[in-house]
Amino acid sequence: MKAVYNHKEIEKKWHDIWEEHPVNVDDGKKEKYYCLDMFPYPSGSGLHVGHWRGYVISDVWSRYKLMQGYYLIHPMGWDAFGLPAENYAIKMGIHPAITTAENIANIKRQMKQIAAIYDWDREVNTTDPDFYKWTQWIFVQMFKNGLAYEKEMPINWCPNCKTGLANEEVVNGKCERCGAEVTKKNLKQWMLKITAYADRLLEDLKTLDWPEKVIKMQTEWIGRSYGAEIEFPIEGTDRKITVYTTRPDTLYGATFMVLAPEYEGASQLATPDHQKEVDDYIYQTSMKSSVDRLQDKEKTGVFTGSYAINPLNNEKVPIWLADYVLADYGTGAIMCVPAHDDRDFEFAKKFDLPIIQVISPDGKENENLEEAYIGTGIVINSGEWNGRNSDELKKSAPDEIEQRGIGKKKTNYKLRDWVFSRQRYWGEPIPIVHCPDCGCVPVPEEELPLLLPEVEKYEPTGTGESPLAAIEDWVNTTCPVCGKPARRETNTMPQWAGSSWYFLRYVDPHNKEKLVDREKADKYLPVDMYIGGVEHAVLHLLYSRFYTKFLKDINVLDFDEPFTKLFNQGMITGKNGIKMSKSKGNVVSPDDLVRDYGCDSLRMYELFVGPPELDSEWDERGIDGVYRFLSRFYNLANTSLEANVAPTLEMIKLRHKLIRDITRRLESFSLNTVISGFMEYNNKLNDMAKTTGGIDRETMESFIRLLAPFAPHVAEEMWQAYGHEESVFDPKFGWPEYDEALCKDDEIEIGVQVNGKVRATILVPVDADQESALAKAKEALGDKLSGSIVKEIYVPGRIVNIVVK
């Protein structure tokens, strides 16, 4: 009798059993394994097949670890503050908390279809006051430690979202969220001093088992460089301008100086006959959007009429303003060495400024430099430095400059402090009170959480004020220190605030007293494996690292890095590689597929579409293939159980090879070839069963266990059919083991080549010696072998190649 694979019945059955009898239990003895998914934003459109893949990958890995005997931390939660819910509230007048709750319910329903082994008791939600109490608490600690500060400055402003943005949220001059062109706006902002951690954030990257790409992106984002700050006196005054350079070795070649147009006091440097031009230029620059400024390839600039003195040779150098110099990097002023810097060269050519070569590859001066020479060489035209090696001088120049008292050594970073306030409603209120006498005072810890108040209008004001500013009875409060009337801070935190630490809360989600109990933190953290998309390579992953380091410094935790290993799964796209989105109408929902093919089939197909780290186009026709495989396997397992055959040597060998291949591929995260491996071995076993009537119990049971992380329902069903009372995931069964010696075949088919071209195949013992292998090869070749033999190559188990002339 043929058993029919009924996925609906099987999946319903095991769904219920798992609910009642969880297999992932902490007995206090097992080692922990923390496998984390990047928690989702509960969007209204629900999960699509692309989200599914990430969750399937992490669940497969988790279940594998579970079977190996670990106690799993495999939680899920909601990154629920953010713009879509707020925008929906503005449009429909429905409170974001209501839409958020609805969306969470829907996505949670979809997630249960994945049958991932999440521990829902650990669920967190960033908009839950019990959670954001601690988000606010961390902010207060940062404030107390001088890492959160208020500053008025021009920040990135999205005119569409009507809020300020962090540097990390601006992509090619556009808003990371909505794509609108980002402008500058002068606003008083809360900042987090992430730059204080720049060195540690950079150095500790070396300790991480992360994709090289992400390490590189963070390294570049932090952008550390070594150089010197050098002081140039301004001619005819007692003022000085400090420049930053990474090339102090070229100081003799500095023929002019350029300041950013925003440089403080730039206008005052203009001599009367240049004043109008200078002020016009400053004004024009201030009118440019960051996109325009990025796209202007042609250099512009204006001469101030003033001169600075090169402190090394006392030469006069003209001071210019140009927008290719950034105001917020270094000192906002640079010394220009046109002979050895592309940008300075271009500028000097355009405005006819002198060019002095100070480094030469051969020690000779090139009369007609056609481009800047960036390389190293012998120092020339540099007084007492002449004749030195430029590389060596580059290293010692900062010290020499410091000794002469004209400057000092300096390390700079591209990383900027984190603009942390948002002028929007749906976020954590920043727990600060502004007191006319005491200044900024944090809300006392026992008063946290500072609840987000209800408002009538969610609409952002656009003025730089948060909608919270309109709620008079919330804004007006008293100073926690002196008791006098004071006003609350009305800005909210960015969405990144909650996601920067949520993974810590999972290990102690209900703690009322602490962010996380220290003992639990020590026991269950850090995260061993973090799985998610690459879009957070700098944003979330950098912020989380910063938070973790800070929490270590204030003794909440005892580790430096939150995520030991990181895996970036590729995106599942629609046809032609187009990103799935509601507006494009190409979103594929998993719901129908689960109904028609079952969870196990979809899980396996999600992995089968391609290598997990690469993007894949979704083509659902292929799911038939895995469904057929599962049906065949189900069948084979059932017939084999009935047939109850004794193992043959062939079966035993196949079993060991199966375990070896699947385990190796799984270990190397080649999940697509794990699935094809299952199919391949299933075909082989099926062929074998045609003559034997079935496959032996041990082989089938091994197969079932290997399949369990991938197709947990079918595996449980078959495991039970094979007479086991406990779950296939019960750690007492463990992960199947193999014996390398039993994976070897006695005989093997190898190719026989003549001059590198395959002309025949022969069956030889694996360890056949050269003589017998060659004899057999020649026999197989027959008259295809002609001419005189030049060379004979035999690689045991691989190939025979005979070279003839």
For the chain, the maximum distance between any two Cα atoms, rounded to a whole number of angstroms, is 107
Task: Identify the residue whose tokens are 């004043």.
Answer: 275
The one among 377, 480, 625, 647 contacting RNA by CB under 7 A: 625
User: Do 419 and 491 contact (CB within 8 A), yes or no?
Assistant: no
Distance in angstroms (rounded) separating the CA atoms of residues 423 and 446: 26
Q: How far is the CB of 293 from RNA (least distance, A)?
A: 6
Nearer to RNA, 96 or 227 (CB): 227
Of 77, 73, 86, give the one whose Cα is nearest residue 126. 77
Q: How far is the CB of 615 from RNA (least distance, A)?
A: 7
Considering the rule CB under 7 A, would residue 617 count as an interface residue with RNA? Answer: yes
Nearer to RNA, 294 or 554 (CB): 294
Nearer to RNA, 469 or 768 (CB): 768
Q: How far is the CB of 114 from RNA (least distance, A)?
A: 21
Measured CA angle at 229 (ends 224, 233), to 5 deg: 160
Interacting stretch for RNA, rule CB under 7 A, among 140-148, 261-269, 469-477, 758-766?
758-766
Q: How far is the CB of 797 from RNA (least distance, A)?
A: 7
Of 425, 411, 370, 462, give the one whose Cα is nearest residue 162. 462
Residues 468-507 that bind RNA (CB under 7 A): none
- Return phi, psi of residue 152, to 5°: -95, 125
Nearer to RNA, 461 or 631 (CB): 631
Q: How far is the CB of 435 from RNA (least distance, A)?
A: 36
Considering the rule CB under 7 A, would residue 749 count as an interface residue with RNA? Answer: yes
String of DSSP letters for 636-663: HHHHHHHH-PPPPHHHHHHHHHHHHHHH
Residues 234-263 that bind RNA (CB under 7 A): 244-247, 260
Distance in angstroms (rounded) separating the CA atoms of residues 119 and 362: 68
Residues 444-473 that bind RNA (CB under 7 A): none
Distance in angstroms (rounded) separating the CA atoms of residues 506 and 131: 11
The one among 619, 698, 726, 747 contacting RNA by CB under 7 A: 619
Q: How far is the CB of 751 from RNA (least distance, A)?
A: 3
Distance in angstroms (rounded) separating the CA atoms of residues 98 and 100: 5
The one among 343, 408, 434, 660 contacting RNA by CB under 7 A: 343
Q: How far is the CB of 480 from RNA (least distance, A)?
A: 39
Q: Which H or E element spans position 775?
A: helix 770-781
Number of C-beta neighbours around residue 553 at 10 A: 16
Considering the rule CB under 7 A, would residue 3 count as an interface residue with RNA? Answer: no
Q: How far is the CB of 485 from RNA (least distance, A)?
A: 43
Nearer to RNA, 202 or 455 (CB): 202
Residues 296-335 that bind RNA (CB under 7 A): 296-297, 299, 323-326, 329-330, 332, 334
Task: Identify the residue whose tokens are 């012998």.
Answer: 378
Considering the rule CB under 7 A, would residue 351 count as an interface residue with RNA? Answer: no
Distance in angstroms (rounded) separating the CA atoms of residues 716 and 10: 9
* Burial group, residue 69, by CB count within 10 angstroms (0-12, 13-18, 19+): middle
The one among 632, 660, 724, 744 contacting RNA by CB under 7 A: 632
Nearer to RNA, 354 or 622 (CB): 622
Q: Which H or E element spans position 397?
A: helix 390-404
Of 435, 439, 429, give the one whose Cα is nearest residue 474. 429
How far CA 611 is from CA of 7, 46, 750, in Å, comes to 26, 25, 29
Residues 695-734 that bind RNA (CB under 7 A): none
Considering the rule CB under 7 A, would residue 755 count as an interface residue with RNA? Answer: yes
x/- letters, 509..548, toward RNA (CB under 7 A): -------------------------x--xx----------
Give the contacts of 779 (CB within 8 A, at least 6 positions apart). Answer: none
Distance in angstroms (rounded) separating the CA atoms of residues 647 and 657: 15
x/- letters, 780..799, toward RNA (CB under 7 A): ----x------x-x-x--xx
The one among 76, 679, 700, 706 contacting RNA by CB under 7 A: 679
Residues 102-121 that bind RNA (CB under 7 A): none
Interacting stretch for RNA, rule CB under 7 A, among 139-147, 680-688, 722-730, 769-777?
680-688
Distance in angstroms (rounded) separating the CA atoms of residues 512 and 129: 11
The one among 622, 693, 734, 787 contacting RNA by CB under 7 A: 622
Q: How far is the CB of 762 from RNA (least distance, A)?
A: 9
The one among 92, 105, 554, 614 contacting RNA by CB under 7 A: 614
Nearer to RNA, 423 or 682 (CB): 682
Considering the rule CB under 7 A, would residue 672 count as an interface residue with RNA? Answer: yes
Interacting stretch for RNA, rule CB under 7 A, among 146-154, 442-450, 547-555, 675-683?
675-683
The one among 186, 207, 683, 770 contacting RNA by CB under 7 A: 683
Considering the rule CB under 7 A, would residue 765 count as an interface residue with RNA? Answer: no
Distance in angstroms (rounded) separating the CA atoms of residues 563 and 471: 40
Nearer to RNA, 449 or 570 (CB): 570
Nearer to RNA, 229 or 489 (CB): 229
Considering the rule CB under 7 A, would residue 353 count as an interface residue with RNA? Answer: no
Residues 543-582 that bind RNA (CB under 7 A): 577
At 283, which amino acid appears?
Answer: Y
Three-class secondary structure assignment of 412-425: ECCCCCEECCECCC
Q: How far is the CB of 181 from RNA (least distance, A)?
A: 14
Residues 218-237 that bind RNA (CB under 7 A): 220-221, 223, 225, 227
Distance in angstroms (rounded) separating the CA atoms of residues 544 and 534: 15
Distance in angstroms (rounded) separating the CA atoms of residues 498 and 510: 16
Considering the rule CB under 7 A, would residue 417 count as an interface residue with RNA? Answer: no
The one among 616, 639, 702, 727 contacting RNA by CB under 7 A: 616
Residues 155-194 that bind RNA (CB under 7 A): 171-172
The one among 412, 500, 638, 639 contacting RNA by CB under 7 A: 412
Q: How far is the CB of 483 from RNA (least distance, A)?
A: 45
Q: Which H or E element spans position 408?
A: strand 407-412
Nearer to RNA, 198 or 270 (CB): 198
First-residue to last-residue Cα distance in the chain: 62
Dihedral angle over CA of 341, 347, 350, 356, nearest 10: -50
Task: Classify 594 as helix, strand or coil.
Answer: helix
The one among 151, 216, 395, 595 contacting RNA by CB under 7 A: 216
| Beta strands per DSSP E along 249-315 | 256-259, 302-309
User: Do 340 and 254 contact (CB within 8 A), yes or no?
Assistant: no
* Rg, the chain, Cα only: 34
| Beta strands per DSSP E along 507-562 | 527-532
Tokens of 86: 């707020």
Nearer to RNA, 191 or 557 (CB): 191
Residues 259-298 that bind RNA (CB under 7 A): 260, 293-294, 296-297
**DSSP at 582:** T
- Return phi, psi of residue 339, to 5°: -65, -20
Give the interface size with RNA as a residue count (CB under 7 A).
Answer: 83
Nearer to RNA, 469 or 750 (CB): 750
The one among 589, 759, 765, 780 contacting RNA by CB under 7 A: 759
Nearer to RNA, 539 or 708 (CB): 539
Query: How many CA atoms lie less than 13 Å away from 535 in the CB half-sphere?
Result: 10
Nearer to RNA, 300 or 477 (CB): 300
